[in-house]
């Protein structure tokens, strides 16, 4: 049960922030509400995937790991490719979509930075919580790169769709204010 503390902590924090931000009332249109609620579900799913005990494992490429007080981490990028490599891109693809929907005027460089910060948050938390609670997670430089790439691909696709005939449809789901709840 102790190993679930990171997820419980961040889920509770997420719920407090969602309620305190009054997102539901600040974004009354149905499309905006779909965006905000699905973002909360997305973040919850990512936390569940990344901050709970690892009871499953995809076939991972063999990597030369480093250890800090028994906690493994990979600091050498691209030692091998595995399904996990591509699944990390898929996992953060929606983040790029949400970055666009929250503020479509976000500069491309800032979208890259948001993806990097989100990924760094995940990897640092995996390392720290594994140190304290033995989550059996691996902080991995490849994950940092592929998570950022996933966000960039999602953001880029939204720009392409917005500029090529999907503007009216996408505007239904865009937040009218350039703020994240």
Read off the pLDDT of residues 139-173 as tens digits, 9 standing for 90 and up.
899 999 999 999 999 999 999 999 999 999 999 99
Tens digits of per-residue pLDDT, 99-128?
999 999 999 999 999 999 999 999 999 999
* pTM given for the model: 0.88
Whole-angstrom CA distances from 76 to 59, 125, 131, 141, 149 are 18, 19, 20, 7, 17
Neighbours of 138 (CB within 10 A): 21
What's the pLDDT at 58?
A: 53
């Amino acid at each position: 049960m102790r190993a679930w503390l990171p997820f419980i902590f961040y889920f509770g924090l997420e719920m407090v922030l969602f309620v305190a931000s009054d997102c539901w009332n600040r974004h009354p249109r149905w499309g905006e509400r779909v965006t905000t609620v699905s973002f909360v579900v997305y973040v919850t799913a990512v936390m569940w995937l990344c901050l709970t005990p690892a009871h499953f494992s995809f076939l991972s490429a063999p990597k030369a790991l480093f250890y800090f007080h028994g906690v493994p981490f990979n600091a050498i990028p691209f030692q091998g490719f595995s399904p996990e490599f591509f699944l990390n891109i898929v996992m953060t693809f929606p983040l790029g979509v949400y970055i666009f929907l929250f503020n479509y005027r976000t500069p491309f460089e800032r979208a890259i930075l948001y993806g990097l910060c989100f990924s760094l948050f995940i990897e640092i938390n995996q390392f720290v919580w594994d140190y304290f609670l033995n989550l059996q997670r691996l902080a991995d430089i490849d994950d940092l790169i592929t998570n950022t790439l996933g966000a960039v691909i999602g953001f880029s696709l939204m720009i392409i769709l917005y500029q090529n005939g999907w503007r009216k449809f996408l505007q239904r789901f865009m937040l009218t204010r350039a703020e994240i709840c």
